[in-house]
Amino acid sequence: MPAKPKPRTLAPKPAAPAAPAAPAAPLLADVRDLILTAREAVARTVDASLVTLYWHIGRRIHQDILKEKRAEYGVEIVAALGRQLSEEFGRGFTAKALHRMVQFAEVFPEEQIVAALRRQLGWTHFRMIIPMEDELKRDFYAEMCRMENWSTRTLEQKIKSMLYERTAISKKPDKLIKQELAALRSEDKLTPDLVFRDPYILDFLGLKDTYAEKDVEAAILREVESFILELGIGFAFLERQKRMQIDAKDYYLDLLFYHRKLKRLVAIDLKLGDFEAADKGQMELYLGWLKRHAVEPGEEAPLGMILCAGKNDEHVELLELASSGIHVATYWTQLLPKKQLERKLHQAVVRARQRLTLNDGKAGKKTTRKAQ
């Protein structure tokens, strides 16, 4: 009788390989941050090098064109150079690109200034600023971009909203604007005239046709990040409805901010209607209380801003608000079409400069009379 076959035993299945251990979340986050930071640093270094390269190319071509003293020669040589360089190095060196580099060297002739700006401004920043015909306007955007480290998107928004024309400094004579911009460039010295604007564009608040002061305040607090962006970098929100007790009577300031660069408290009072003379006295009271009870050692005297729906220039001028540290500005709840915005702000700048010229003339006549 044949032997019974032995039952077959199945070999045990090999154990499945253990799943790789997942890195701890903090470790992954830290390593990702290191990689992203390094990438950003490399990108900034490359962009800064390109800015330097483009400036040197622009200066070299500019020197050659000036030596020939013929405009048609410049057009011809740039076109020929662009064709040759594009074949070897790509489309970044077309005739159009070379013209932009020449313009770059013309409007920023000092290498030292370019070297300082390139730490915060990339080539895309410069491309937005270079075409500006007004030298002071160009310098303003370049220096504010450096100071506040604007992204290209932020710079584009500031230019579109005509920030320069809305800043108090634009309404001064050219000589004073140059002095303040030179101080900003050499000493990082920021003045109230570089900080305060008029008007402030608050279209992001979403206010309808009819609203009260409390609605404006509530909307600002709801959109405080956008409001600070419109105010400018450096503002820090401290309090709303700041209570001040004076002679057993309570007063309430709408909004209290602090400006880090100016090292000053900034009191903001919201007005639904037009500015009135009595508003000055109220703000002076607020500033006096803040100076006595809220200013810390090492800080400058507080500043006040009366933000209103409208104002009359002669009222503001006669009250000599600047000597009290008070700025009056209007706010717009809707951004005007570009052409209308340009016209309105241009008229405001012209009127302000005319008043300054008239006042200087009167002051000169008084001095002459005294001398006689």
> CA-CA distance, 145 to 142, in Å (whole number)?
5
- Domain range for 265: 196-335
Which residues 6+ apart lie within 8 Å of 183 measured at CB? 189, 191
Closest CA to 345 of 134, 112, 153: 134
Determine the pLDDT at residue 291.
94
Domain end call among 95, 110, 125: 110
Q: Give me the pLDDT at residue 124, please.
A: 93
Going residue by residue through the chain, which has 372 residues, state the pLDDT in tens, using 9 for 90 and above.
555 555 565 556 665 565 565 566 778 888 888 888 888 777 778 888 899 999 999 998 888 776 656 667 677 888 888 899 888 888 888 989 999 999 999 999 999 999 999 988 999 999 999 999 999 999 999 999 998 889 899 999 899 888 998 888 888 888 888 999 988 888 888 888 888 888 888 887 777 766 777 788 888 888 888 888 888 888 999 998 999 999 989 999 999 999 998 999 999 998 888 899 999 999 999 999 999 999 999 999 999 999 888 888 788 888 888 888 899 988 887 776 767 766 767 676 676 666 666 655 555 555 555 555
Scanning 24-122, the segments in alpha helix (DSSP H) are 25-68, 71-89, 95-107, 111-117
Same domain, 324 and 200: yes
The amino acid that residue 364 corresponds to is G
Last residue of a domain, one of 54, 76, 110: 110
Q: Report the domain count for the chain.
A: 2
Distance, in Å, from the CA atom of 287 to the CA atom of 244, rounded to the nearest integer, reads: 11
Would residue 342 count as lying in a domain?
Answer: no
User: pTM of the full predicted structure?
Assistant: 0.74
Cβ atoms of 275 and 240 closer than 8 Å: no
Same domain, residue pair 99 and 203? no
pLDDT reported for residue 42:
79
List residues bridging with 323 in a β-sheet. none
Identify whether 85 is part of a domain: yes
Q: Is 197 helix (H, G, I), strand (E, B) or coil?
A: strand
Q: Is the dihedral of CA 202, 203, 207, 208 positive or negative?
A: positive
The pLDDT, as a whole number, for residue 64 is 77
Element (H, E) at 127: helix 123-129
Q: Of 47, 76, 110, which residue sits at a domain end?
A: 110
- Chain centroid to CA 234: 10
Evaluate whether residue 133 is within a structural domain: no
Helix or strand run (H / E) with residue 228: helix 224-231
Residue 248 falls inside a structural domain: yes
Flag whether 219 is in a domain.
Answer: yes
CA distance 290 to 292: 5
Q: Is 237 helix (H, G, I), strand (E, B) or coil?
A: strand
Helix (H) and strand (E) counts in the chain: 15, 6
Q: Is residue 260 part of a domain?
A: yes
Omega of the bond leading into 131 within 30 degrees of 0 (cis): no
Q: Cβ distance 308 to 316 under 8 Å?
A: no
Give the whole-angstrom CA distance, residue 329 versus residue 331: 7
Using a 10 angstrom Cβ sphere, with 0-12 exposed, 13-18 middle and 19 or more buried, the burial of residue 266 is buried
The pair of three-digit structure tokens given for residue 267, joined into one six-digit string: 């009191």
> pLDDT by residue (tens digit) across 187-197?
888 888 888 88
Phi and psi, residue 296, nearest 5°: -90, 160
Query: What is the pLDDT, as a whole number, of residue 264?
Result: 93
Instruction: Output the domain CATH number for residue 316.
Output: 3.40.1350.10
- Do 219 and 313 sit in the same domain of this protein? yes
Give yes or no: residues 105 and 200 share one domain.
Answer: no
- Reported as a single tens digit per residue, the pLDDT across 80-134 is 888 998 888 888 889 899 999 999 999 999 999 999 999 889 999 999 999 999 9
Residue 370 has a pLDDT of 53
Strands (E), 296-369: 303-310, 326-332
3 — phi, psi (to 5°)?
A: -70, 145
Q: What is the pLDDT of residue 272?
A: 83
Any domain includes 190 = no
**Residue 354 belongs to a domain:** no
